[in-house]
Amino acid sequence: MGTLRYEIDAAAQVVTLTFDDPAAPVNTMSEAWLADLTACLDRLEAESSTTKGVILASAKESFFAGADLKGVLQRWPAGRENWFRRVEDIKRQLRRLERLGRPVVACIAGSALGGGFEVALAAHHRVVIDNRRVQLGCPEVTLGLIPAAGGVTKMVRLLGLQVAMPYIVEGRILSPAQAKSAGLVDELVPQTPDAPAALRAAALAWIGTHPSAIQAWDTRGYKIPGGGPGEPKNAQLLMAAPALLRAKTRGLYPAAEAAFACMVEGAQVDFDTALRLESRALATVADGPVARNLIHLFFDRAAVRAGVSRPRGAPKWKAGKVGVLGAGMMGAGIAYAAARRGVACMLKDVSLERAQAGKAYAATRTGERVAADKMSAQEQTELLALITPAASAAQLRDCDLIIEAVFENRELKAQVTREAEPMLAAGGIFATNTSTLPITGLAKAAAAPERFVGLHFFSPADKMELVEIITGETTSAETLARAYDFVLQIGKTPIVVRDSRGFFTSRTFATYIAEGAQMLKEGIPAAVIEHAGVAAGMPVGPLAVTDEISQATIVAIMEQTVADLAAQGKPDGRSEGERFIEVLCKQHRRLGRVHGGGYYDYPDGAPKSLWPGLQQFEKPGIEWQLAALSERLLMRQALEALRCMSEGVIQTAHDVNVGSIYGIGFPAWTGGAYQYIAGMGLNRFLARCKELAAAHGDRFAPPRLPVDWSPGRVA
Partner 1 sequence: MSEALIYDAVRTPRGKGKADGSLYEVKPITLVATVLEALRTRTNLDTSQVDDVVMGIVTPIGDQGACLPRIAALAANWHWNACGMQLNRFCASGLEAVNLAAQRVRSGWDDLIVAGGVESMSRVPMGSDGGAWAMDPQTSFQTAFVPQGIGADLIATLDGVSRAELDAYALASQRRAAAARDCGCFDKSVVAVRDANGLVILARDEFIKAHTTLEALAGLKPSFEQAGQMGFDAIAIGRYPQVERIRHVHTAGNSSGIVDGAAAVLVGSERKGRELGLTPRARIVATALVGTDPTIMLTGPVPAARKALARAGLAIEQIDLFEVNEAFASVPMRFMKELGVAHDKVNVNGGAIALGHPLGATGAMLINTLLDELEMRAKRYGLVTLCVGGGMGIATIIERI
Catalytic residues: 118, 140
Contacts 24+ apart (CB under 8 A), 164-168: 164/263, 165/237, 165/241, 165/260, 165/263, 167/137, 167/138, 168/138, 168/141, 168/259, 168/260, 168/263
Cα separation, 112 vs 114, in Å, equals 7
Q: Binding marks (x or -) toward partner 1, 257..276, rule CB under 8 A?
A: xx-xx--xx-----------
129 binds partner 1 (CB under 8 A): no
251 binds partner 1 (CB under 8 A): yes
- Single out the segment in contact with partner 1 by CB under 8 A; choices: 60-68, 587-595, 604-612, 650-658: 604-612
622 binds partner 1 (CB under 8 A): no
- Single out the segment in contact with partner 1 by CB under 8 A; choices: 244-252, 344-352, 375-383, 686-694: 244-252
Q: How many CA atoms lie within 13 A of 711 on its CB side?
A: 17
Q: Binding marks (x or -) toward partner 1, 179..218, rule CB under 8 A?
A: ----------------------------------------
Which amino acid is located at 469 in the chain? I
286 binds partner 1 (CB under 8 A): no
Among 351, 609, 615, 710, binds partner 1 (CB under 8 A): 609
Stated as kind and residue range, the H or E segment containing 468 is strand 466-471
Among 216, 240, 695, 714, binds partner 1 (CB under 8 A): 240
| Interface positions, 623-642, toward partner 1 (CB under 8 A) | 626
Cα separation, 52 vs 40, in Å, equals 15
* Residue count (the chain): 715
33: nearest Cα among 55, 9, 17, 49: 17
CA distances from 30 to 45, 354, 560, 624 (A): 22, 57, 56, 49
10 binds partner 1 (CB under 8 A): no
Among 485, 499, 530, 640, binds partner 1 (CB under 8 A): 530
- Single out the segment in contact with partner 1 by CB under 8 A; choices: 80-88, 214-222, 459-467, 520-528: 520-528
Among 556, 610, 680, 693, binds partner 1 (CB under 8 A): 610
Among 10, 247, 567, 707, binds partner 1 (CB under 8 A): 247
Nearer to partner 1 by Cβ, of 208 and 230: the residue is 230
Task: Determine whether 460 is exposed, middle or buried from the number of CB atoms within 10 Å of its CB (0-12, 13-18, 19+).
Answer: middle
Among 43, 246, 369, 410, binds partner 1 (CB under 8 A): 246
Cα separation, 315 vs 210, in Å, equals 54
707 binds partner 1 (CB under 8 A): no
Among 23, 239, 426, 567, binds partner 1 (CB under 8 A): 239
242 binds partner 1 (CB under 8 A): yes
Cis peptide before 460 (omega within 30 of 0): yes
Nearer to partner 1 by Cβ, of 243 and 426: the residue is 243
Nearer to partner 1 by Cβ, of 535 and 641: the residue is 535
Q: Give Rg (Cα) of the chain.
A: 28
Nearer to partner 1 by Cβ, of 281 and 403: the residue is 281
Cα separation, 87 vs 29, in Å, equals 10
How many residues form the binding site for partner 1 (CB under 8 A)?
35
526: nearest Cα among 506, 511, 547: 547
Nearer to partner 1 by Cβ, of 337 and 633: the residue is 633
- Single out the segment in contact with partner 1 by CB under 8 A; choices: 204-212, 484-492, 522-530, 632-640: 522-530
235 binds partner 1 (CB under 8 A): yes
Contact 471, 480 (CB under 8 A): yes
Contact 387, 347 (CB under 8 A): yes
Contact 611, 599 (CB under 8 A): yes
Nearer to partner 1 by Cβ, of 267 and 591: the residue is 267
With a CB cutoff of 8 Å and minimum separation 6, the contacts of 74 are none
528 binds partner 1 (CB under 8 A): yes
Beta carbon of residue 261, minimum distance to partner 1 (angstroms, whole number): 4
Contact 117, 136 (CB under 8 A): yes
User: Which residues here bind partner 1, judged by CB under 8 A?
Assistant: 229-230, 232, 235, 238-248, 250-251, 257-258, 260-261, 264-265, 525-528, 530-532, 535, 607, 609-610, 626
